[in-house]
């Protein structure tokens, strides 16, 4: 059994596809190892690949002019990074940074767009994922406005735990403060 086939079900978006659709995609998927803090895309730049995380967790960050950043979306094995490719722009609107190293499958942007334009189950899966991300982002905006920091932290930790499928979260306080858009509190004493 080929390595890509063995990890098919590790990305839940790809696992939803009928066998025939997945088999058609298989020659275009490259198995890659992503390292922590690796930048997969910079806002405003052309996207070369779409990524389907298997073990890795990727943050989509909104970066402000002063360099501060806030996490907009966490992508784990439930989804994909590179959605602007199928929306016709092929330009990243956020910075995509690997937060938890691990395996992913990637596909060249041109092939990702061609498969999406083909219609069928792959297009349906990507459109469903886009809808889920949109719902998540709108709820996040409401939560960031209406909920206290402690509640936002709890939601964020649960989201990360879900993406990792683990109770161990290898994260630093500094990283969490960046993702929540707040300063890290220092202990007094």
Q: Is residue 7 part of a domain?
A: yes
More confident residue, 66 or 139: 66
Highest mean pLDDT: which of 90-104, 111-125, 146-160?
A: 111-125
Q: Confidence class of residue 80 from pLDDT cuts 50, 70 and 90?
A: very high
**Which positions ≥6 away from 106 have C-beta within 8 Å?**
29, 30, 32, 49, 50, 51, 52
The 10s digit of each residue's pLDDT in 127-170 is 999 999 998 777 766 565 655 666 666 666 666 666 666 666 66
Residues in the chain, overall count: 189
Contact 31, 25 (CB under 8 A): no
Q: Is residue 188 part of a domain?
A: no
* C-alpha–C-alpha distance, residues 137 and 71, integer Å: 10
What is the count of structural domains for the chain? 1
Q: Is residue 184 part of a domain?
A: no
Instruction: Report pTM.
Output: 0.79
Q: Is residue 155 part of a domain?
A: yes
Q: Is residue 187 part of a domain?
A: no
User: What's the confidence (pLDDT) of residue 100?
Assistant: 87
Domain residues for the domain of 67 are: 3-109+119-178
């Amino acid at each position: 059994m080929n390595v890509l086939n063995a990890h098919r079900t590790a990305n839940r978006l790809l696992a939803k596809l009928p066998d025939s659709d997945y088999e058609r995609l298989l020659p275009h998927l490259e198995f890659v190892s992503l390292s922590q803090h690796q930048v997969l895309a910079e806002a405003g730049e052309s996207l070369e690949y779409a990524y389907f995380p298997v073990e890795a967790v990727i943050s989509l960050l909104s970066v402000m002019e002063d360099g501060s950043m806030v996490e907009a979306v966490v992508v784990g094995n439930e989804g994909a990074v590179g959605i602007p490719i199928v929306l016709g722009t092929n330009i990243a609107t956020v910075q995509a940074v690997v937060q938890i190293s691990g395996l992913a499958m990637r596909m060249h942007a041109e092939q990702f767009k061609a498969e999406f334009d083909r219609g069928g189950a792959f297009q349906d899966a990507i459109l469903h994922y886009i809808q889920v991300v949109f719902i998540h982002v709108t709820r996040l905006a409401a939560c960031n406005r209406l909920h206290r920091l402690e509640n936002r932290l709890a939601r964020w930790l649960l989201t990360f735990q879900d993406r990792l499928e683990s109770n161990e979260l290898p994260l630093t306080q500094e990283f969490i403060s960046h993702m929540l858009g707040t300063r890290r509190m220092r202990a007094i004493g």
